[in-house]
A and B are shown apart, each in its own frame.
Chain A
Amino acid sequence: MSLSRFPAPSVIPGFGFAFGYTILYLGLIVLIPLGGLILRASDIGLAGLWAVATNERVAAALKLSFGTSALAATFSAVFGLVIAWVLTRYRFPGRRLLDAAVDLPFALPTAVAGIALSAIYAQNGVIGSLFAPYGIRIAYTPIGIFIALVFVSIPFTVRMVQPLIAEIDRELEEASATLGARRGQTVWRVLLPPLIPAILTGLALAFARAVGEYGSVIFIAGNLPYVSEIAPLLIVIKLEEFDYTGATAIATVMLMISFSVLLLINLIQAWSRKRFGYV
Chain B
Amino acid sequence: MSEHVPSTAQASQAERAAAQETLRHSVTTEAPWVRGVTLAIALAFLGLFLILPLVTVFLEAFKRGVGVYLSAFAEPDAQHAIKLTLLVAAIAVPLNLVFGVAASWAIAKFRFPGKSFLVTLIDLPFSVSPVVSGLVFVLLFGAQGYFGSFLKEHNIQIIFALPGIVIATVFVTFPFVARELIPLMQEQGNTDEEAALSLGASGFTAFLTVTLPNIRWALLYGVLLCNARAMGEFGAVAVVSGHIRGVTNTMPLHIEILYNEYNITAAFAVASLLAFLALLTLAAKSFLEWRFGHALAGRGGHGGH
Contacts and interface: CB of A to CB of B under 8 A. Distances in A.
Interface of A: 6-8, 10-15, 17-19, 21-22, 25-26, 29-34, 36-37, 40, 79, 82-83, 85-87, 89-90, 92, 96, 98-113, 115-117, 119-120, 126-127, 147, 150-151, 154-156, 158-160, 162-163, 170, 173-174, 177-178, 182-183, 187, 202, 205-206, 208-209, 211-215, 219, 232-233, 235-236, 239, 242, 244, 247-248, 251, 254-255, 258-259, 262
Contacts of B146: 36
B28 A174 contact: yes
Contacts of A159: 300-301, 303
Counting chain B CB atoms within 10 Å of each CB, which of A117, A209, A211, A214 scores highest?
A214
Contacts, number: 317
A37 B132 contact: yes
B106 A18 contact: yes
Chain A interface main SS type: helix
Given A82-B45, A106-B303, A120 B28 contact: no
Given A34-B124, A111-B234, A18 B102 contact: yes
Contacts of B299: 163
B103 A22 contact: yes
Contacts of B275: 108, 112
Contacts of A90: 35, 38-39
23 contacts: A6-B113, A10-B111, A10-B190, A11-B194, A15-B106, A29-B170, A30-B174, A33-B139, A79-B42, A85-B38, A87-B42, A89-B29, A90-B38, A98-B43, A104-B54, A109-B233, A111-B252, A111-B253, A151-B50, A159-B303, A183-B30, A183-B34, A213-B130
Interface of B: 18, 21-22, 27-31, 34-35, 38-39, 41-43, 45-46, 48-54, 56-57, 60, 98-99, 102-103, 105-107, 109-113, 118, 121-122, 124-125, 127-132, 135-140, 142-146, 167, 170-171, 174, 190, 193-194, 197-198, 203, 207, 225, 228, 231-235, 238-239, 251-253, 255-256, 259, 264, 267-268, 271, 274-275, 278-279, 281-283, 285-286, 290, 299-304
A183 B32 CA distance: 12
